[in-house]
Amino acid sequence: MSDQATTIILVRHGETSANTERVWHGSTDTALSDRGWEQARLVARHLAEAEPPATALYTSHLQRASNTAREIGKAQSLLPRIDRGVAEYHLGAWEGRRFHDLLVQEDFWTRIHGDPDFAPAEGESVRQVADRFADSMRKIAETHPGERVIVVSHGGAMALGLGWLIDGHYSSWKRIMNNCAISELILGPKPRLARLARLNDSAHLVGVELADPRDLGGDEGSD
């Protein structure tokens, strides 16, 4: 295994109706909104014109991420590779619930902060999401040592995965990102050698209205 660190450019997908309606669409395969498509084109242009070129592009299988990735890929002649490990946090029976209802009726965030193994019926726990996301990041780093790789994922999965990789905590739910914002993860060959070089960079989206990622039900948000 190479001892070179990999630079992983994390991009949250473009806006969807779930973002504007404040509902949880984890595994729900929601389409990009018109503004989401515009955001995808803007981040694609920025990554192609203003940043060093990437050698590979990975994406969640969900269309809001894969369509964002296709725009990025077209701008850099990269073929998106599907990685289900970076898909969004699946809430099972609670999919489609409003964030306010999850907060007030289910006390959801208190429960996941207190118990990383709590999962709604047919859904995932924060431990499962963080572990699979972190595993994908490590595999990408092993496959592309010393390279620059773009990964298009989701707000909740990235927050949980970065909490585990950077802080060693499954529910450090404090890193929610804007749609099509860019973050930069430096990941070395050792599991604990990880750091954030950039977080939630949205400067390339000037002129496109952004939803506040924390306006999604209390202090937390996802999708």
Question: What is the Cα–Cα distance from 107 to 131, expressed in whole angstroms?
Answer: 23
β-pair type (194-201, 182-187): antiparallel
25 classed as catalytic:
no
- List 15, 88, 124, 220, catalytic entry: 88
- List 13, 25, 90, 204, catalytic entry: 13
Half-sphere exposure of 218 (CA within 13 A, CB side): 17
49 classed as catalytic:
no
Query: Token pair of 194, please?
Result: 């990880």
Known catalytic residues are 13, 88
